[in-house]
Amino acid sequence: MPMKKYTGSCHCGAVRFEADLDLSQGTMRCNCSLCAKVRSWFAIAAPEDFRLLDGDDAQQVYEWIPPNRDAVNLHFRFCKTCGVRTPGFGDHGPGGKNFVFVPVALLEDTDADELAASLRYLDGKHDRFDRQPDDIRLM
């Protein structure tokens, strides 16, 4: 599937964005302590493929240093009005590059088949992002 432009927003619409994504490259769920609590499901975009249209000042940032890490790598964002997680930013993704993680629940004009076609599970709980956890039942 080629890159496709998607639009998305938080629940109240204060935060709106566009992202160019190739969903056939994978959507992901992670089991780290933070992602597990919010049942995170996301797609990855390059920073140049993400455009915030509205709501930069409507968001709050949460930064967390995971176990076995020396510094913040992920910058989680959420809407101050409705509390929905909005696209966040990572400092050291595959190949050491910056990236944007886009919650797929915020995307408009998608369907279940498109989103689930290449769903991958990441074992962030054990800092092994290159493999699937042993138990994915609650992810």
For 54-91, what is each residue's pLDDT tens digit? 999 999 999 988 777 788 888 999 999 999 999 999 98
Identify the pLDDT of residue 92. Answer: 76
Domains of the chain: total: 1
Domain membership of residue 114 (yes or no) is: yes
> Residue ranges of the chain with pLDDT lower than 70?
1, 94
Q: CA 66, 18, 42, 57 torsion: positive or negative?
A: positive
Domain membership of residue 84 (yes or no) is: yes
> Could you tell me the CATH number of the domain that includes residue 75?
2.170.150.70
CA distance 54 to 79: 11
Domain membership of residue 127 (yes or no) is: no
Task: Reduce the DSSP state of residue 105 to 3 states and report it.
Answer: helix
Question: Domain span at residue 117?
Answer: 4-122
Domain membership of residue 131 (yes or no) is: no
Identify the pLDDT of residue 1. Answer: 61
Domain membership of residue 69 (yes or no) is: yes
Domain membership of residue 87 (yes or no) is: yes
For residue 109, how far is the Cα from the chain centroid?
17
Identify the pLDDT of residue 91. Answer: 87
CA distance 128 to 99: 18
Domain membership of residue 9 (yes or no) is: yes
Domain membership of residue 118 (yes or no) is: yes
